[in-house]
Structure 1
């Protein structure tokens, strides 16, 4: 049996290729939209991708299930559990819709769908049995059900998809899924989750890629509540301290349920290299969105007016989803990139969150009109005339300590909550060290807001003698 984990450090997301070497057949579970890596693995191992499936309707990235099936002819398998509100849309009509216990057979490899609601109502985990070695399952692909040291959060439907108080039933469902589906398995079963440390789909995910049923049974934070049959204690602990959900999660939920667009051949097209004169004409006519991909310290030395800052490649999907909303922004994107290959790599990251409009790139800002974003030093803050002091970190960070008088709106939500921001006057914004605030400030400037960044952000301000953070939270009106 072939079992290979493909991990996206950008979105902290794992997908898996499982293959039967005797039959030359493979299945991909939870694929992303830039699918070349799966086809390369299959080709390297002399396999055909004959099946593709996913554990649930994802919120944090756009699924590549339809993309991969269109490219390979693979059969699609999706959950048919959870009720009518969680049924995949008509674009999935050719798919096999699975109930609990459905089996996918690849030679002697059996993959059994196990309904494990909690994170979402339709969620499936997959028990994998390598029949060449045993007649018992040795692996469970748990998706967003069980992580290493943590569990999938049940509040995302409230936080990101517009539902009300589904978190409580979701938490109870998760308790039952652990009791009735997970803890009934032998200790030796290996657990392969869909996310790792850094994902917003849980609050304390481990960085280790795998675990076992036995390890989680004995050492996870939640095991004590299951041993004591303490459902309410479990619910209370699970729902407390979850990180902010990014606003783009709502779009991912909707598109993944209906059916993500298939890019096809456009996925691999060459990007156009713009000359400075060509780009200047497009910018003057407001026909393109420009993305500066440099570190914020370089952006502060000068960038294109209203440029978006998506620093580097490593987190370009994560930050790109903060600053580009494809539902409201249809203009093509032009990147500042080191080369055509660099631009294509960033594009591959952006399509993972449904940003499909990258058209071209430039390798230099020479010949373009540049502006310097407003940056103030920590020592200037007290005397600076501002309309709002804005903390763009997560609520958990803000609650642990923030600048006195600051209001919190995380960077992943800012563009979707402009009504909370003053249109007149200057907003002074900060994060922990300066990266997230540069990303967020660029989006707000592009939307027409006057934003100054606090140089060095919270870390620099806290290092000034006499500056003391507060943990007092605003009193609700």
Structure 2
């Protein structure tokens, strides 16, 4: 059996390539939109991708299942569980619990494991070349290392009303009737790792086992004892803020993400072309470090520093209806950034620049903590998570997670100074840049964020 985990560290998302080396066939589970990586891996392993599937309708990234199937001609297998509201709206072959997918010596048994979402599937893999016992379970957003998929996401980001309670009950039943019936030696390979917003305390290691989770997870004793209410209470307690773009991802993945196909490289634009694009409504994504951006930036540009949070912040702050120009050091980085933007459905990259020569730059205001004395006159906007805010915040601060700014702009004052801050200054620089791009003219940042404020021994609530 060939087995490869492909991991996106920004979104903390795992997809899998599983193949039978005897007959040269393979299946991809939960692919992202960067199809090239799966094609390359399959070719290197001497495998042909014949099947593509996914565990559920994803919310945190735009699925590449449809695109990869289009490019390879592989059979697209998707869940038909969950009822009429949870059916994929594009052509596919339906899967239900109890079905099997055969790839030579490799058998994938389909398990219906609702809880995170009603249509959720897991895949129990047996390697017939070694024996008849299952080897591993690909759990998607069902069971993580040390945690479970959150059942409140449909309420938090997709417009559901109190679906979390039914989801939590379904999760309890899935664990009791599916997961805990498996042998201890079965490996568990989840769809996310530490840092994902799809759970509250995901482990940092790649995989676990049924036996390890049975013995040491917080939930196993409650499920084994049949204490459903205590399980539900604990599962729903303290879930992190869900970025609003999750709702958009869920809808697009259900209806069918736009097909990318084979694409050309990102064009390198001249200053005059960039200026014309900006005048026509495009926005510049400035990927430099925060200090460089604050020293001088193109007016109306959005600050998304390249690095491990680029995709996440792009989902938070970028409207996919806009066209964009990237600032990148070279064509290679521009292409990598564009592929990262694909993950959150931002496809309108017109080109890139590698220098600001010929473009006017303006400094981006940041106020030192010691200089911010009159809080009553300013509108202090805290873009941290609720848990950070509740642990301590500036007097009179208004909390709004950075991932929810795009849908709450009309609630912010345009006739008052807005002072934006986060914990240390990184998130607030990006958030402040979005407000300026959206026409807010009196926006500053609290230099160094909440940490700098507390170091000055300023009052907190």
Which piece of structure 1 moves more, 415-424 or 299-308?
Answer: 415-424
The alpha-carbon deviation at position 277 of structure 1 amounts to 2.6
Distance change in 2, residues 1:80/1:281 (3 Å): closer
| Distance (whole Å) between structure 1 residues aligned to residue 459 and residue 217 of structure 2 | 35
For residue 30 of structure 2, what is the aligned residue in structure 1? Answer: 30
In structure 1, the residue corresponding to 2:7 is in which secondary structure?
A: strand
The alpha-carbon deviation at position 224 of structure 1 amounts to 2.1
The alpha-carbon deviation at position 288 of structure 1 amounts to 1.7
The answer for unaligned runs of 5 or more in structure 2 is none
| Distance (whole Å) between structure 1 residues aligned to residue 437 and residue 218 of structure 2 | 43
The alpha-carbon deviation at position 30 of structure 1 amounts to 0.2
In the alignment, does 2:172 pair up with 1:175? yes
In the alignment, does 2:6 pair up with 1:11? no
In the alignment, does 2:452 pair up with 1:457? no
For residue 104 of structure 2, what is the aligned residue in structure 1? Answer: 107
For residue 118 of structure 1, what is the aligned residue in structure 2? Answer: 115
For residue 403 of structure 2, what is the aligned residue in structure 1? Answer: 412
| Distance (whole Å) between structure 2 residues aligned to residue 384 and residue 375 of structure 1 | 15
The alpha-carbon deviation at position 469 of structure 1 amounts to 3.0
Give 1:14-93 correspondences, 5 Å limit: 14-89=14-89, 91=90, 93=91
Deviation per CA, 1:293-337: give whole Å up to 9, x if none. Answer: 0111111100000100111143221111112122xx33x211110
In the alignment, does 2:431 pair up with 1:440? yes
Deviation per CA, 1:201-248: give whole Å up to 9, x if none. Answer: 000001101000011011111112113211111111111111100010
Q: What count of residue pairs does the alignment treat as equivalent? A: 460
Give 1:291-306 correspondences, 5 Å limit: 291-306=285-300
| Distance (whole Å) between structure 2 residues aligned to residue 178 and residue 424 of structure 1 | 53
In structure 2, the residue corresponding to 1:119 is in which secondary structure?
A: coil
| Distance (whole Å) between structure 1 residues aligned to residue 354 and residue 379 of structure 2 | 36
Q: Is the 8 A contact 1:113 1:127 kept in 2?
A: yes
| Distance (whole Å) between structure 1 residues aligned to residue 308 and residue 268 of structure 2 | 22
Q: Is the 8 A contact 1:386 1:427 kept in 2?
A: no
Q: Is the 8 A contact 2:241 2:385 kept in 1?
A: yes
Q: Is the 8 A contact 1:313 1:345 kept in 2?
A: no
Give 1:314-329 correspondences, 5 Å limit: 314-326=308-320, 329=321
| Distance (whole Å) between structure 2 residues aligned to residue 163 and residue 39 of structure 1 | 37
Task: Give 4+ residue runs of structure 1 displaced > 6 Å after superposition.
Answer: none
For residue 475 of structure 1, what is the aligned residue in structure 2? Answer: none
For residue 260 of structure 2, what is the aligned residue in structure 1? Answer: 263
Give 1:352-431 correspondences, 5 Å limit: 352-383=343-374, 386-431=377-422
| Distance (whole Å) between structure 2 residues aligned to residue 112 and residue 404 of structure 1 | 55
Deviation per CA, 1:397-430: give whole Å up to 9, x if none. Answer: 1111211211110000011111321121111111
Q: Is the 8 A contact 2:423 2:449 kept in 1?
A: yes
The alpha-carbon deviation at position 386 of structure 1 amounts to 4.2
| Distance (whole Å) between structure 1 residues aligned to residue 427 and residue 160 of structure 2 | 28
The alpha-carbon deviation at position 460 of structure 1 amounts to 1.1
| Distance (whole Å) between structure 2 residues aligned to residue 318 and residue 190 of structure 1 | 29
Q: Is the 8 A contact 1:387 1:424 kept in 2?
A: no
Deviation per CA, 1:27-75: give whole Å up to 9, x if none. Answer: 0000000111111110001110000000000000000001100110000
| Distance (whole Å) between structure 1 residues aligned to residue 375 and residue 383 of structure 2 | 19
Q: Is the 8 A contact 1:386 1:428 kept in 2?
A: no
In structure 1, the residue corresponding to 2:329 is in which secondary structure?
A: coil
Counterpart pick for 1:273 among 261, 268, 274: 268
In structure 1, the residue corresponding to 2:61 is in which secondary structure?
A: coil
Q: Is the 8 A contact 1:385 1:426 kept in 2?
A: no
For residue 157 of structure 1, what is the aligned residue in structure 2? Answer: 154
Counterpart pick for 2:220 among 212, 219, 223: 223
The alpha-carbon deviation at position 468 of structure 1 amounts to 4.3
Which piece of structure 1 moves more, 397-406 or 39-48?
Answer: 397-406
Q: Is the 8 A contact 2:386 2:399 kept in 1?
A: yes
TM-score, normalised by the number of residues in structure 2 = 0.98
Deviation per CA, 1:456-476: give whole Å up to 9, x if none. Answer: 001111111x32432xxxxxx
Q: Is the 8 A contact 1:126 1:140 kept in 2?
A: yes
In the alignment, does 2:301 pair up with 1:307? yes
Which piece of structure 1 moves more, 163-172 or 223-232?
Answer: 223-232
